[in-house]
Chain A
């Protein structure tokens, strides 16, 4: 019985960890995050657990998050568009030990909000926005990124 309880408590603490660093948000909060002034370069990546190229490039964002104190990485999950249960996202964060901030967007009808985030975005995943809020410069990429590309894009608007 004891080991089982220990296992149970461990299991739940892990799941709680994922929920603590994750926030389910509405469009308004995402827009606030995009527009907020910051001393750091904001890197916002749109992804989903079902998106293979997204999963492939996530280590690049994690690396950036751990190595660069002048950069603020946010991973915005689009999972709820297809599945209202966020459990898959929590499990992914646990399994991969994701350290970057994760926001889960809870909005229906993407046609109403995609243009409010980025006009050049078709809605296809993955997509990444890089913002220097001090100069107002912004980069947008709608494809999978490869080693070194993020650093190069950031350097262009530093």
Chain B
């Protein structure tokens, strides 16, 4: 009887200690991925092994928040790619549910906006599931520790979706600046209103 109780307690402890994992947390190591860019070329995290880090952004064509932040995303890459933190944009929506986010439409947007960073199609949605991104645009600032990328910031770009000039907190810039100065990232996680990512079978 005592043994049974002990086993039950052990089971309880185990379940309590292993919560369902939904995506990366701060400090987690990011697994390499390889996705098709709008140029037709495959791009992966390992291509960035010589950079200081990366600004991974789950983004799409259709979401009004993605549209509102589009210029700010382009500006982030302009400012931080030369400093070693380039933008890698990933489109995770299922085009069957969101036809405006098809690969063809992604190519058009990248050409129209003259993207100088990759805009990758996550066709199998394995990457968005691994990261645990929920809405667009959803940012993961990664730090490169000798080829191992770890998560340093998760969340929104700034605190003012409606206009860039109204932003009082620029969370992503603050995170990257802190990493460049080898300081602690001031805010590591933020939440924002946004379009939910359209996953298959959901």
Contact = CB atoms under 8 A, between A and B. Distances in A.
Given A82-B68, A109-B159, A142 B134 contact: yes
A24 interface: no
Contacts, number: 73
Contact of B190 (A51, A82, A111): A111
A81 B196 CA distance: 15
Interface residues of B, number: 26
Given A109-B159, A109-B169, A123-B135, A50 B64 contact: yes
A25 to B, nearest CB: 15
A144 B191 CA distance: 19
B152 to A, nearest CB: 17
A124 interface: yes
Interface in A35-70: 48, 50-53
A78 B193 contact: yes
B76 interface: no
Looking at chain A's contact residues, the main secondary structure is loop
B159 A111 contact: yes
Interface of A: 48, 50-53, 78, 81-84, 108-112, 114-115, 121-126, 142-144
27 contacts: A50-B195, A51-B195, A52-B98, A81-B162, A82-B161, A82-B162, A84-B162, A108-B159, A108-B160, A109-B160, A109-B168, A110-B159, A110-B191, A110-B192, A112-B159, A114-B191, A114-B193, A115-B191, A121-B191, A122-B191, A122-B194, A123-B134, A123-B135, A123-B194, A124-B197, A125-B194, A125-B195
